[in-house]
Amino acid sequence: MREVLPGLFHWTAVHPEIQIEVSSYYVEAPGVVLDPLIPTEGLAWFHDHTPPRHVLLTNRLHYRHSREFADAFGATISATERGLHHFSPDQNVHGFRAGEPLPGAIEAYDVGVLCPDETALHVPLGGGVLAIADGVIRTTDGPLQFVPDFLLGDDPEAIKRGLKAAYARLLHLDFDHILFAHGNPWVGGGKDALRTFVHS
């Protein structure tokens, strides 16, 4: 568990289904966890902090350990309504639309290129934070990049163009940091890095 900005924590864990290391985040003041897996420290770590009251997903495939957070802390689980068909009633996932108010004054923006429910979340913290789903990844502390072409469907170049256009539409937002579902967060200079990437 690593505090990457005051009040913003990042951790990685091996996803039990796909067996690769993925990233999760915790915004302490509003008690929001993003795309959560249980950290190595266990759920007990959160007892010394603001309890997680809300789980927000950047896409439907990032449910991960949301149920465990809901059971342990009474947290609500929310994802864009475009992905609600993926969940069973007992998963108790609530839907939101882009533009609706979310906990902690977080704002959701549709990306919808890799999948219809792909969502970016803007977190008003530390100069602004943009959490994205799987459209762009980062290997450890490396540059921004796309996932391999074989994961981008029948026309990878069209998907790449669509993703760049979608992220270009987010450049009007105030943010200096980027959170990835796969890879370490980009702390400081994130907006410039994304701008360079989408115009490359």
Quickly list DSSP for 65-95. Answer: THHHHHHHH--EEEEEGGGGGGS-GGG-EEE
CA-to-CA distance for 122 and 142, rounded, in angstroms? 22
CA-to-CA distance for 80 and 97, rounded, in angstroms? 6
Over residues 96-147, the pLDDT tens digits come to: 999 999 999 999 999 999 999 999 999 999 999 999 989 999 988 889 999 8
Describe the chain by its helix, strand, coil percentages, rounded to 5.
25, 25, 45
Provide the pLDDT for residue 73: 97
Per-residue confidence at 16, pLDDT binned at 50, 70, 90? confident
CA-to-CA distance for 173 and 148, rounded, in angstroms? 28
- Are the C-beta atoms of 104 and 27 separated by less than 8 Å? yes
Per-residue confidence at 15, pLDDT binned at 50, 70, 90? confident
Per the DSSP assignment, residues forming a β-bridge with 96 are 80
**Predicted confidence (pLDDT) at residue 5 exceeds the cutoff of 80:** yes
Pairing of strands 76-80, 93-96: parallel
Q: State the first-to-last Cα distance of the chain, in angstroms, to the nearest integer.
A: 33
Dihedral of CA atoms 128, 113, 118, 140 in degrees, nearest 10, equals -60
Per-residue confidence at 175, pLDDT binned at 50, 70, 90? very high
pTM for the model stands at 0.95
Q: What are phi and psi of 21, to 5 degrees?
A: -75, 130
- Are the C-beta atoms of 59 and 115 separated by less than 8 Å? yes
Provide the pLDDT for residue 53: 97
Structure token pair of residue 146: 């796309």
Share of the chain above pLDDT 70, in %: 100
**Predicted confidence (pLDDT) at residue 173 exceeds the cutoff of 90:** yes
- Are the C-beta atoms of 114 and 163 separated by less than 8 Å? yes
Q: Which domains does the chain have, with CATH numbers?
A: 2-198 (3.60.15.10)
